[in-house]
Amino acid sequence: MTISIVTGVGGFIGSHIAETLLHQGHPVIGVDEFNDYYDPTFKRQNIASFQNHPDFKLVEADILSLDWSELLKEVEVVYHQAAQAGVRASWGTGFRSYTERNINATQVMLEAAKNASSLKRFVFASTSSVYGNAETFPTSEAICPQPVSPYGITKLAAERLCLLYFQNFGVPVAGLRYFTVYGPRQRPDMAFHKFFKAVLNDEAIDIYGDGQQTRDFTFISDAVAANLAAAVAPDAPGEVFNVGGGSRVVLTEIIDTMEEIVGQPIKRNYGEAARGDARHTSADVSKANRILGYQPQVKLKEGLSREWEWIQSLPMYRS
């Protein structure tokens, strides 16, 4: 039985990690401030299935306001999933929330973690956005990060902070660079969620650019598996790992697949390419496979079908 903390527990990935740990018999302390970056109703819904579990404790607060030295007593694993997400919203006046929630919050936790005697692993959620417009595909962790968005800059800074605390204080950090995670509970500002919602409302979907951009998509259960593996793999501390779905797909082809799943044509509005969006992403997951035993299991069409089923079940989308 391992006591874990999951930050961002009301979020997409954090809620799935917490739920999986509880199913495995492990106590979980969940931390989330339920801010309004997107409708907190979704986050409350995400934890509804386990909020009253006897081994679950919810701490509803801003990370920067908490006594982490006290919280980390007896905790063996931290899954730090909380972040200010979103590439497009990271420009302009909103940038301060990215530095506070992605960099400052991580530093406060690491500072406490260096003195946490029971801590065995600090798993940090990073992102493929640190690569920007990578020069080679699939992209390995050896490629120099070149973020093209303020969001990517803050996540890379937090990732580097984690490695500094490993090198200087022995904090057992492992970083996971997620490549476009999707599936049930996906944030409402993410593409697949928006596309399926548009289908429900018989609206056109908005496509940024020409639709020929490619992404490596990772189903949520594969992202969870990577986290659990990073928490126990002996050689994970001090390393960062790509977490991808195993295939690079053109956006327009994905929409064609979605049309098959929903059984109707999807209307499309093409607009200008978004600032800060990488043109292509593709994960080389060989390092994660070698050290974590990571192997993505869920193919894109199956994963999209599961997300479509979930979208249709949401109370807020039922007419």
Long-range contacts from 59-67, C-beta under 8 angstroms, 24+ separation: 59/29, 59/30, 59/31, 59/32, 60/32, 60/33, 60/34, 61/31, 61/33, 62/33, 63/7, 63/31, 63/33, 63/101, 63/105, 63/108, 63/109, 64/100, 64/104, 64/105, 64/108, 66/31
Rounded to whole angstroms, how far apart are CA atoms 233 and 71?
Answer: 24
Site of tokens 């973690």:
113
270 bridge partner residues = 207
**CB of 269 within 8 A of CB of 205?**
yes
Rounded to whole angstroms, how far apart are CA atoms 317 and 69?
Answer: 41
271 bridge partner residues = 208
Rounded to whole angstroms, how far apart are CA atoms 58 and 40?
Answer: 15
Quickly count: other Cβ atoms within 10 Å of residue 65's Cβ: 8
Enumerate the active-site residues: 151
